[in-house]
Amino acid sequence: METTEPLLRLRDIRKSFGAVQALGGVDLDVPAAQVTALCGDNGAGKSVLIKCVAGIHQPDRGQIRWQGREVHIRSPREASALGIETVYQDLALADNLDIVQNMFLGRERLRHWLLDEAEMEQAATATLRELGVTTVRSVRQRAASLSGGQRQSVAVARAVMWHSKLVILDEPTAALGVTQTAMVQDLIRSLRAHGLAVLVISHNLNEVFAIADRIAILHLGRLAVQAPLIEFDRRRVVSYMTSGEAGTEARL
């Protein structure tokens, strides 16, 4: 049993859209310096939950505790100010901009009222190097020229260079090949090694068992279970995802 307060603690998070209840009272703990995999079938509420944490949706009720204190996250900017960054499936990279410009988009550094290109380039290069991203030819190459794995790496690097403490990744390896998937998984391990908490939405159970320290499973808008990875096998995860409980076979 954990004795320390998790970095992020959600209690009784509820969210409805009209008559449709997306979240029916979710409790979730996300510890620091660990990878938590958030699993669930389509429509389980995973995306709605992370958008409540990211400030895109406001819960109808419930409590969000961040570093031991209750917070109200009303916008993505407020989430970023706390140290919460989210990387969505579309990555939101501008293809016509280079890596440096993408990493500093909306947060450009100025020197004497002009863009400090040298400082931004240096910071972008250092962040990529620190995270072990070595496949990028130049930080001045355009996003349009990057592979899927490289694009994901740039999006994650952009998230962590703003002193983030929690990085939320929405299906980070969807549509990636084997080599690019391995690159992104190594990047996630690097985030953990640097002391960041990582919350990963993934349908890929091979990925979940390769990178996660903990698994949390949503079923029909409620948390079915959360526990350390060691307490699960694939059959048990699938049972919780499809029925909300461990099947008889999974307990044998």
CATH number, domain with residue 39: 3.40.50.300
* CB count in 10 Å sphere of residue 96: 10
Identify whether 142 is part of a domain: no
What values do phi and psi take at 133, rounded to 5? -85, 105
* CB count in 10 Å sphere of residue 97: 15
**Dihedral through CA 7, CA 36, CA 58, CA 9, nearest 10?**
-30
Identify whether 131 is part of a domain: no
Copy the structure tokens of residue 4.
Answer: 């320390």
Query: CA quadruple 91, 140, 95, 204: dihedral positive or negative?
Result: negative
What does the pLDDT read at residue 3?
53
Averaged pLDDT, 48-62:
97
The vertex-51 CA angle with 48 and 55, nearest 5°, equals 145
- Helix and strand numbers (H, E) in the chain are 9, 12
What does the pLDDT read at residue 251?
42
Q: Which of 167, 192, 171 is nearest to 85 (CA)?
A: 167
How many structural domains is the chain composed of? 1
- The 10s digit of each residue's pLDDT in 94-105 is 999 999 999 998
Identify whether 184 is part of a domain: yes
Identify whether 210 is part of a domain: yes
Identify whether 141 is part of a domain: no
Range of the structural domain that residue 186 is part of: 8-91+165-251
Identify whether 215 is part of a domain: yes
Residues of the chain with pLDDT > 70, as a percent, come to 96
Identify whether 22 is part of a domain: yes
Identify whether 71 is part of a domain: yes
- The 10s digit of each residue's pLDDT in 119-160 is 999 999 999 988 888 888 899 999 999 988 888 889 888 888
Averaged pLDDT, 181-206:
93
* Bridge partner list, 223: 218
Secondary structure E strands in 98-159? 110-111, 114-115
Q: How far is CA 4 from CA 38, 137, 192, 194, in A?
A: 21, 42, 18, 19
Q: Which of 97, 121, 94, 95 is nearest to 109 (CA)?
A: 121
Q: Which is more confident, 181 or 209? A: 209
Residues 6+ positions from 41 with CB-CB distance below 8 Å: 219, 241, 242
Residues 6+ positions from 40 with CB-CB distance below 8 Å: 46, 217, 218, 219, 241
Residue 14 has pLDDT above 80, yes or no: yes
